[in-house]
Every structure is written in structure tokens, then in C-alpha cells.
Amino acid sequence: MQLIATLVDFEHLDGNRQVGVGELYEDAVSRGLPRQSVTGDLQELQTRGWLWFEPSLAGIQTVTLNQAGVDVAEEFKALRSDPRRRTRQIREDVRSWLYDLYVRGEEASGITDFLTSPANQHFGDPYTEAELDRAAEWLLDEKHIEGILTFSGDLARPTITNKGISIVDNGTPAGDSGRGHITIHNSGAFNWSHNSSNVTQSNNLTQGQVDQVSEMLKTVIPLIASDLVRVSSETVAEAEAVADEIQQEIQSASAQPSRIKELAYKLVELAGTGGVQVGMSAVNSVVQQGIAGM
């Protein structure tokens, strides 16, 4: 998926979406990978109908992007660049990074060490220093991490706190501080107001969990219906029905997290019927973020 997005961003050699791929081979060689690995990836994209190239004994020099490939790439880039999703995910990633250092008996010299770690990526796209600063500030305020604030505003010697460790172990989402629970009308549209006298309060879902599931549903159904996943229209309709069940469940005053997770995993199974591994992986990633902590 990252490959087709990269190709779309390459400078086109003509008006027919033709792009050179020499840079891909050079990058692979610089990283110690065989040239055949790039050829294999390009062949897979051609099999999916996302691009076309003419086989040659001299190797692949250029490819022509098909509209389906461009559409898939743009959908993937929109998912990868979504600011709300990135904000939530970097909190999870920074905390998990510090947790991993903790269990290995290691420590970071500064929070910016995260930027050079393998954890610094969201669907292959690195986080920015500004995103890291905001995440670190939030994690400090929530007492998930601690460290020494320098005069320049940097966080030196960051470590995960006992609260942060507990949250990682229990799978509680980083965007959820446990403040407040979902409040709903007995039926109909969502109502997220707190402490209102005319709504029923669930004892099973926190506000943060409801927000996560709601955001997941907004993303996952269009994703399943896209060329990235490539399932049948009947499967899309079935996924929409499952999403409706999830919505009804989170509206219930006795919402059951186990039932929500069961239905969410059903969405991943439906995505898998398209036979496109990267598509199913993208759906699974969205679902996992949506049900984290349940």
C-alpha cells in the first residue's frame, strides 16, 4: 500500500501517469535488499490492476498508474494523514515505545529519541516533532509518563509511570482517561452530553471508548467499500448491517464490550473475503484502534 502511494507521488514522466521506478531499485540496494524484491512488489500491484508495465529482460524501467491504483493510493493517504487518528495513535505509540524500553531495562536520553526509533511511523508515515511534542505534553499531563523538563522545553530521560504501565498491560486507549461515560437517549441519534437528566447512562462504556468506536465506524465502512479491500457489493451490505449492530450496541444502556469486539472482528473477516492482504490489514488496524481497551 505504501508502494502505490509512493508511486502516485512520484513525478509523472508524461500526461498518462507514467512514472520511473529506478529510484525504488536504488533504495532497495542501499538497504541491502535484492532488486527482485521491488520487481515482485510491482508485479503484485499489476496483478491487482493498480498499474501496468511491459516486462523486459533489462528490468522494469517505468510503470503506468491505472485509475484504480490512484484511487486506492489517495484513500490510503487520506487514512494515513487523518489528524485525529494520528493524534490518538502517536500517544499509543510513544507510550508503547517507553514501555518496551522499560521491559528491556533501557532508557531514552530524551523524548526526541522516539523520532529515530522504528516506532516512529503511522502506516509508514513518520510523525513530526510537533506531533511528538503534543503527545508528550498530553502523556505528562495524564501522568502516563514522566521525565525532566529542560530549560529549552525538551523532555529528558522520559520513562513510563506505573499508571502508564498498567494502561499498556490492560489495553486502555491513550485517548481515554476514564472521565465520564456514554449518555444516550433510549433510541435514535447519539447524544454525547454528560450528566443530563433526560438521558440514560451506560455503566459499561466510557466516553472515550464510545468516541473511538464511533470514529472507527466512520472510517471502516468506506474503507471496506473501497478498491483497497475489493469485496463484493453483497459483502459491503453485510458490513453495513454489522456496523448498524455495533451502533445499536453502543447506544444501549447495557452495552457489552465483548459483543462490540465480536462484531468488530466480523468486519475484519468480511474484509478478508476480498483476498487483498493489505486491504484486510488496513481494516484490521482501524478496528484495533476502535476497540482498544475493551
pLDDT-based confidence at 160, cuts 50/70/90? very high
User: Is it the case that residue 291 has pLDDT exceeding 60?
Assistant: yes
Q: What is the pLDDT of residues 224-233, one digit of tens each?
A: 888 778 888 8
The Cα–Cα gap between 200 and 184 comes to: 5
Residues 12-29 have a mean pLDDT of: 83
* 2-80: CATH number: 1.10.10.10
Residue 272 scores a pLDDT above 50:
yes
**How much is the pLDDT for 178?**
39
pLDDT computed for residue 99 by the predictor: 92
Judge whether residue 223 has pLDDT over 90.
no
Q: Which of 2-11, 35-44, 171-180, 265-274 has the highest mean pLDDT?
A: 265-274
The answer to whether the 2-80 and 83-170 domains have the same CATH topology is: yes
Residues 182-219 pLDDT 10s: 322 322 333 333 333 333 345 567 777 787 788 888 88
Q: Which three cell numbers stand for residue 252?
A: 444501549
- Evaluate if residue 265 carries a pLDDT over 70: yes
The residue extents of the domains of the chain are: 2-80, 83-170, 181-291
Residue 155 pLDDT more than 50?
yes
Give the contacts of 128 (CB within 8 A, at least 6 positions apart). Answer: none
Q: Report DSSP letters for the chain, one per residue.
A: -HHHHHHHHSPPSSTT-EEE-HHHHHHHHHTT--HHHHHHHHHHHHHTTSEE----TT---EEEE-HHHHHHHHHHHHHHH-HHHHHHHHHHHHHHHHHHHHHTT---SBGGGGGGSTT--BTTBPPPHHHHHHHHHHHHHTTSEEEEE-TTS-EEEEEE-HHHHHHHHHT--TT-----EEEE-SSSS----SS-TTSEEEEEEEHHHHHHHHHHHHHHHHHHTSTTT---HHHHHHHHHHHHHHHHHHHSTT--HHHHHHHHHHHHHHHHTT--HHHHHHHHHHHHHHHTT-
Helix axes 83-103, 67-81, angle to 10 degrees: 70
Q: What is the CB-side half-sphere exposure of residue 38 using CA atoms within 13 A?
A: 23
CA distance 156 to 241: 49
Q: Which residue has the higher pLDDT, 165 or 186?
A: 165
Q: Which of 55-59, 147-151, 265-269 has the lowest mean pLDDT?
A: 55-59
Residue 179 pLDDT exceeds 60 = no
Class of 83-170 per CATH? mainly alpha
Count of residues in the chain: 294
Q: Could you give the percent of the chain with pLDDT greater than 70? A: 86
pLDDT digits (tens, 9 = 90+) for 6-18: 888 887 776 678 8
The gap between the terminal CA atoms of the chain, to the nearest Å, is 29
Give the range among 12-26, 113-127, 194-208, 259-273 with minimum mean pLDDT: 194-208
57 pLDDT band (50/70/90 cuts)? confident
Per-residue pLDDT band for 152 (boundaries 50, 70, 90) equals: confident
Q: Does pLDDT of 283 surpass 80? A: yes
Chain mean pLDDT for the chain: 81
